[in-house]
Structure 1
């Protein structure tokens, strides 16, 4: 087999591969001989069809099949021979496929970059420091009580947090506009569902009250005709309801998985779950800062376009499923969710993956079995049958590999943190568990 390699640009390589005709022809003959033993053809006894006839009837199809397999096999042999690491599938361009002549084709593909790990000593990390207070536990329990509570009608003016049933008509320049009217619509005041000023205008109204709200649509509104438009809403309040939280009793405790121990045990389990959530949130924020520092320190790493395309597809499918999409639906996802939505994030993730892989090699890290087990046990502890969940992870190789990957990432983060400048920042429980972008806002 003859192989020549050319660097076309950056990470792209062009491989010209020549395979002796004998390799293809012998494989074609071998398959035709095997097939002849089972072929039934009029005028011939079973298994006695002459090779000449087999070649005439089936030779072209068998040869096409063999050519595809030989090109695939020889490409793998060529990249091993040339010590290459392809990133993604090659583009194959046949040059010579004629029978009796050597097979020749050109394979164009990208290779993984050579990643040189940068010195990250002394990068800055801010670590949130918080604790779960009794007040925090009280606040979460109040949320649980409202989740299980009931709405009850009241004869008073509406306040924020109440639910109102309203009918309204929206007009622009005296004309009703599409989507601006509704009958018997329920709205929780303070939810932010409506445009600015709408919900505030209803606060103070009682059942039976009517009011005209003079408002302005936001400049960034999705409807072009209403962007920045001055409008009026004639609103009628039909009912006002307040939330009556569920009682703090055994019935409530059971709904959240506490069947014994009463309020004391309920508060204890709520506090433990909050402490676990706090630890995970702090770890995630620190880890994100480390990952951002890794990307910043490796700005010049070349990224194979093929890997970015794969990651874009993965992110697109992930978003589609998150919003209720099901596999097999006849939709043009690329039109619905174009590449541009995911490209920047995909580039970061691919670059991070390449650098982390190199860091793992450099630091000679392997996923520690004890940590993998502890991670799975922690995830399983939130389920009613933890042992079943643990067994499921260990019987599912794909899921187990996912946990091992996470553990490896955590080990890399810990190693890098040894050389980081860590500044602790005191904050509340709510501030600590808030997502980073929400915290910035």
Structure 2
């Protein structure tokens, strides 16, 4: 059941309650179901003696596992147990019957719930010696007729990697894996780097407004507010100890708020010049399993082609799924959408509070995000129900082997034992989400494999 409310019915304790009394034989229990638009209204009615029988059985089980001072296990009087554990027992009994009613309603009336129901209990708990009745709603998945999903037409795109792309990629790999070394008395190269002290001056002032030390600067990476061409020309060839002053429009994130957006100057005092040293060929050969320049380029091209092919497959899958979503405008339960938006807003408020925003600022930001969050929730829910319906019709399912394999892959990527990953996902309640992601992956692949992909001319 949903845990959105502190008074909601929780699933905790079900396993224990199931062993405490017979789930399948409750002569004093009745469950009535009335289907309405987008939901089912479930009324649970319990006879007083049925409730008392369940309480008694729960206390018997409890007496065997707890021992109060002065009593041996199994010998503690019920009155003493009620004094110490009465609320816990009542909660377990109520949860057992609510879960039983939920399952009975779903199975006997073939309901397809959209979410676990929230059941407020604070004002409607059973009273000793009296029958008990409670009504709750189950939001239902939207009912729709699944249209065509096989043989959908989609335009394919040619996937290729030319020589220029390989050379550009190789250049970027060398750049990304280069390291900076002190250049001594050498001037700063256009592709080099330097450590500098920056002093900011307002127009017409000789007094530094702000000083920043130990800042890395590179001639080809001009700071915002400085002309890139002038910046590269000024810094290239400069040596340690030299200064360069340039006009600048102060950025909006300048720590001195009153100077933001003003035109002024910034002085760069170079403290150390660094040269950029690319990695040796042997290092790149080892990384790509190559033996020479030719095989390095061959391996790089193969990886680039594989990445492009994967991106093309994802594009096709996205286009197919977007088309199916457009063709199936599902009507969603409003309460379900509202719950999703509320959960997003609560999470956003926590994040903004951690960032230092005041409560008023955080609420204003969250309110501004609400409509976007609603649209996102609607699209995500529609996608989930559509994907699950396709999986149901095409008999696509996620197996335990699929879950184990994915956990193993996650563990390998993070250098963590699979058992630890499985434990974390279980404790954080992430296994269902993982299952949904794997199911979506299977449905996407099915759609692409069965699609009529038109080959470009």
User: TM exceeds 0.5?
Assistant: yes
Aligned Cα root-mean-square deviation (Å)? 5.0
Question: Residue 98 of structure 1: CA displacement?
Answer: 1.3
> Which of 213, 219, 233 is the matching residue for 2:246?
213
Pairing partner for 2:115 from 85, 88, 97: 88
**How far, CA to CA, are the matches of 1:46 and 1:302 in structure 2?**
52
User: Which structure 2 residues correspond to residues 363-382 of structure 1 after superposition, within 5 A?
Assistant: 364-366=394-396
Taking structure 1 as the reference length, the TM-score comes to 0.68
Residue 270 of structure 1 pairs with residue 300 of structure 2: yes
SS in 2 for 1:203: helix
Q: CA–CA distance in 1 between the matches of 2:271 and 2:86? A: 81
Q: How many aligned positions are there?
A: 390
Identify unmatched segments of 5+ residues in structure 2.
1-29
Find the partner of 1:72 among 94, 99, 102: 99
Q: Is the 8 A contact 2:398 2:438 kept in 1?
A: no
Structure 1 segment 241-260 matched on structure 2, within 5 A? 241-248=274-281, 250-254=282-286, 256-258=287-289
- Aligned twin of 2:387: 356
Q: Counterparts of 1:136 and 1:310 in 2: how far apart (Å)?
A: 44
3-state DSSP of counterpart to 1:86: coil
Match of 1:16 in 2: 43
What does residue 193 of structure 2 align with? 163
The verdict on how the C-alpha distance between 1:286 and 1:162 changes in structure 2, with shifts beyond 3 A counting, is farther
Q: Distance in 2 between matches of 1:83 and 1:178?
A: 75
Query: How has the CA–CA distance of structure 1 residues 104 and 225 changed in structure 2, closer, same or farther, with 3 Å as cutoff?
Result: farther
* Aligned partner of 2:176 among 123, 131, 147: 147
TM-score by length of 2: 0.66
Matching residue within 299, 310, 313 for 1:280:
310
Match of 2:444 among 382, 404, 409: 409
SS in 1 for 2:118: strand
Aligned to 1:132, which of 161, 168, 184? 161
Classify 1:401/1:281 alpha carbon distance in 2 versus 1 (closer, same or farther; 3 Å).
same
> 1: distance between equivalents of 2:273 and 2:439?
53
- Decide whether the 8 Å contact of 1:87 with 1:304 is kept in 2: no
Larger RCO, structure (CA 8 Å, separation 6 or more): 1
Map of 1:431 onto structure 2: none
CA–CA distance in 2 between the matches of 1:191 and 1:227? Answer: 21
Structure 1 unaligned regions, length at least 5: 326-331, 426-441
Three-state SS of the structure 2 residue aligned to 1:104 is: strand
* Deviations 1:395-427, CA, capped at 9 Å, x for gaps: x99679855641332112343x32x7x5749xx
Partner Cα distance (2:376, 2:273) in 1: 45
Q: Please tell me whether the aligned partners of residues 175 and 278 of structure 2 are also in contact (alpha carbons under 8 angstroms).
A: yes
Change (3 A) 1:191 1:82: farther
Q: How far apart are the structure 1 equivalents of 2:84 and 2:345?
A: 47
Q: Is the alpha carbon distance of 1:112 and 1:404 closer, same or farther for their aligned partners in structure 2, counting shifts above 3 Å?
A: closer
Q: Give CA-to-partner distance per residue, 1:44-68, whole Å, 9 cap, x none.
A: 7875566677667765653343123
List per-residue Cα deviations over 1:212-240 (Å, max 9, x = no partner): 33333567999975654333222334455
Compared CA separation, residues 276 and 50, structure 1 to 2 (3 A): closer
Using the alignment, how far apart are the partners of 1:47 and 1:232 within structure 2? Answer: 84
Residue by residue, what CA displacement relative to the aligned partner does 1:265-314 show, whole Å, maximum 9, x if unpaired? Answer: 33322222111111112112222222332333334542665478569969
| CA deviations over 1:171-195 (Å, ceiling 9, x no partner) | 3456799995312311234446x31
More strand by share: 1
